[in-house]
Amino acid sequence: MLITTAEAIVRYLIAQRAVVETTPGATAVEAPLVPGVFAIFGHGNVTSFGHSLEMHRAQLPLWRGQNEQGMALAAVAYAKAVRRQQFMVATSSVGPGATNMVTAAGVAMANRLPVLLISGDTFHGRLPDPVLQQVEHPGTPSMTVNDAFRPVVRYWDRITDPAQVITSLPQAVSMLRDPGECGPAFIGLPQDVAAMAYDFPDELFAPVLHAPLRPRADLGQLEIAAALLRGAQRPLIIAGGGVHYSLAETALADFAMRHGIPVVETVAGKSSLLADHPRYAGPIGVTGAAAANVLAADADVILAIGTRLQDFTTGSWTAFDAQAHFIGLNAARFDAVKHRSVPVISDAREGMRELSERLGSWTAPAERTAQGERMQVQLNSFIDSRTALDGDLPLSYAQIVGVVHDQATPADFVLTAAGGLPGELNINWRSIGLGTFDCEYGFSCMGYEVSGGWGAAMARESVPGSETYVLVGDGSYLMMNSDIYSAVLAGTKMTVIVCDNEGFAVIERLQVGQGGASYNNMLRDSRGDTGARVDFAAHAASMGAHAITASTADDLAAALTEARGVTGTCVISIRVRESDWTEGGAFWQVGVPEVSERVEVRAARARMDAGLKDQRRGV
């Protein structure tokens, strides 16, 4: 079949199909492996790749973004919302369009999420060099800005000959679907190569149905892990994002009940269990709750399922007893062996089932199970105290979370990212639906919220009665908000709650908490502050959103009710207290100066050094 390189890529992607569970426990259906493309066209991708996308617009839908970073973040959130069973493509032109996507690639890389990034590139033939938007490297003429993707993707290739598509695309797709290797893939497509014709084999475009991959554990690893658990007096399960990607929530609930082990969740693993499940003990770590951290501190054996054990989970590795043993049940070898863990390299669902078979009738000591249940009661009491209304205005973050939670149904999905909201939602949001929470805290990317909300809402359009709630601070909103317009144009429904505290208040909290003076984070102490403030509702309305301003809890509840009845995207703007925070209770290592003229900094350094004495050393 004599077609262009660009045409071959489009046809190959269309041919890929997947077996997908639309919701946990639902009957699997056949669906496109690549449901669509997010695109902003420029001279590097519009004339060839863009032409082919237009020719196949019925089979491969295309969505127009407003910013390349935003559309790629939407693709990342889409992949998370569908549990990595499908992935989207994001395509840009050469130059700044491409480099705008590097941040989104970092988000996908940190969170182990699949997205295929296809960027235009400079001419492979080089005769017209330097071309528009080309950054020349005099000593390395083959290097382009697309090489900037190398550190933040799992697969990187530049197509310099049409025939390379035959081998490169299957390799990229294989990685994107691999439970252990999953992450972003990048394909650079030089303008001249994209336009070249080649006689591709027809077999390359034959439909392929991809079934879920569920790698099984080594039998020896399972036996060692089972023996370690059988000897535990105070076991603990940490549920990470891998539980969701394996669709293993039911398996986790069954495993924890059968063996009486308390379960705590990472940020990525939140909503692995419902908040009222008997074994649920809360979120762990820096943005976690004291109840969960108490269980972590005295655990002697920790079964870490599908987590990369980030510092916010481990309290910078101070949250556990130095003699505690870890079992790393993870599809990724890299994560399974961290901190001298006994590795069980396996799909989460199948690994739990096989481990449970070897444990047989063994259960944790009754006192440990009862301790977990007491911690759940303590957690709920704490959340009640934090979300209770006190009559003061503005509302606190926790109170806003509580109002949104009271309006939510089990089908609804809540999403946030960097700033103060991750801690507030991670503790104060009680999951009433499985797999209904997305907090981007692997890369902690400000600006993910609105774009990610667009992608997540798009992914969940088939879930009956589902609302997608996006909670975003004013700082993140100002960094990236244009995908409100993208959602309006696409007819996608999400409800964005903008929490305005007039600055980067959570970083100001860290700044002052570690002895520094408040500077450059809050608008009030920024150089040149003229007193100008943004009317977020008016701004959102100008992009076509249904916009509401709220002040009180009753206002917010009424706004949420109104938003549920609106067919399009809604934005609710509400002021929030500047510094009313829900404490997590775990240590976090940051770089505090060893010497300073400020007595407050010296005191903070002393506290940091004291905390580091409990730090567990890895290998």
Please provide the average confidence, as pLDDT, over all residues in the chain.
Answer: 97
Rounded to 10 degrees, what is the CA torsion of 103, 108, 114, 115?
-10
- 537 is a domain residue: yes
Phi and psi for 365 in degrees, rounded to 5? Answer: -50, 145
Please report the pLDDT score of residue 393 as a whole number: 98
pLDDT class for 175, splitting at 50, 70, 90?
Answer: very high
User: Residue range 388-407: average pLDDT?
Assistant: 98
- CA-nearest of 268, 246, 282, 348 to 312 is 268
- For position 347, what pLDDT does the model report? 98
Task: Give the tens place of pLDDT for each residue, 195-213.
Answer: 999 999 999 999 999 999 9
Domain CATH code at residue 422 = 3.40.50.970
Selection from 564, 605, 269 nearest residue 442 by Cα = 269
pLDDT above 90: residue 56: yes
Q: 93 in a domain, yes or no?
A: yes
- Structure-block tokens of residue 619: 């290998």
Domain that holds residue 24: 2-210
Same domain, 528 and 610: no
Residues 491, 614: one domain?
A: no
pLDDT in tens, 434-446: 999 999 999 999 9
Pair 494, 534 in one domain: yes
Separation between Cα atoms, residue 226 and residue 218, nearest integer Å: 12
> Which residue in the block uniquely carries the two structure tokens 């995207």?
569
Is 582 part of any domain?
no
pLDDT at 34: 98
- What is the mean pLDDT of the segment spanning 136-156? 96
Question: Within a domain: residue 263?
Answer: yes
Domain shared by 228 and 135, yes or no? no
**Domain end among 379, 412, 430:** 379
Count of domains forming the chain: 4
| Secondary structure of 539-554 in HEC code, one letter for each residue | HHHHCCCEEEEECCHH
> Averaged over 291-320, what is the pLDDT?
97
> What are 20's strand-pairing partners?
29
**The pLDDT of residue 24 is above 80:** no
**Domain presence at residue 384:** no
pTM more than 0.95: yes
- Over residues 6-11, the mean pLDDT reads 98
| 181 and 230 part of one domain | no
Closest CA to 590 of 332, 205, 318: 318
Question: Can you give the pLDDT at residue 617?
Answer: 82
250: Cα separation from own chain's centroid: 21
For residues 88 and 43, is the Cβ–Cβ distance under 8 A?
no
- 464 and 320 share one domain: no
* Helices 68-81 and 448-459: angle between axes, nearest 10 degrees: 50
Of 184, 210, 236, which residue is a domain's last? 210
Residues 189 and 285 in one domain: no
Q: How far, CA to CA in Å, does 603 sit from each of 295, 597, 608? A: 29, 11, 9
Confidence of residue 420 (pLDDT cuts 50, 70, 90): very high
598 and 511 assigned to the same domain: no
Is residue 509 in some structural domain?
Answer: yes
Q: Residue 329: name the closest of 341, 311, 313, 315 by CA.
A: 341
**230 domain residue, yes or no:** yes
Give strand pairing partners of 571: 496, 547
What integer pLDDT is reported at residue 22 of this predicted model?
Answer: 75
Q: Which residues contact 598 (CB under 8 A, 6 or more apart)?
A: 515, 516, 517
Do 470 and 515 share a domain, yes or no?
A: yes
Backbone angle region of 423, left / alpha / beta, with phi > 0 → left and psi within -120 to 50 → alpha: alpha
Kindly report the CATH number assigned to the domain that includes residue 320.
3.40.50.1220
Q: Is the pLDDT of residue 417 over 70?
A: yes
Q: Clarify whether residues 206 and 224 are in a common domain.
A: no
Residue 327 tokens, joined: 């079992």
Per-residue three-class SS string for 602-617: HHHHHHHHHHHCCCCC
Integer Cα distance of 295 and 376 in angstroms: 11
What percentage of the chain carries pLDDT values higher than 70?
100
Which stretches within 408-535 are classed as H helix? 421-428, 448-459, 474-479, 483-490, 505-513
Given a cut of 80, whether residue 26 has pLDDT beyond it is no
Number of neighbours of residue 609 by Cβ within 10 angstroms = 11
User: Residue 398: pLDDT band by 50, 70, 90 thresholds?
Assistant: very high
Q: Output the pLDDT for position 619.
A: 58
Residue ending a domain, among 379, 412, 436, is 379
580 domain-assigned: no
For the segment 344-377, what is each residue's pLDDT rounded down to a tens digit?
999 999 999 999 999 999 999 999 999 999 999 9
Question: What's the pLDDT tens digit per position in 76-124?
Answer: 999 999 999 999 999 999 999 999 999 999 999 999 999 999 999 999 9
Residues 183 and 72 in one domain: yes
101 and 140 in a common domain: yes
Query: Percentage of residues in the chain with pLDDT exceeding 90?
Result: 96
Instruction: Give me the mean pLDDT over the 492-513 stretch.
Output: 96
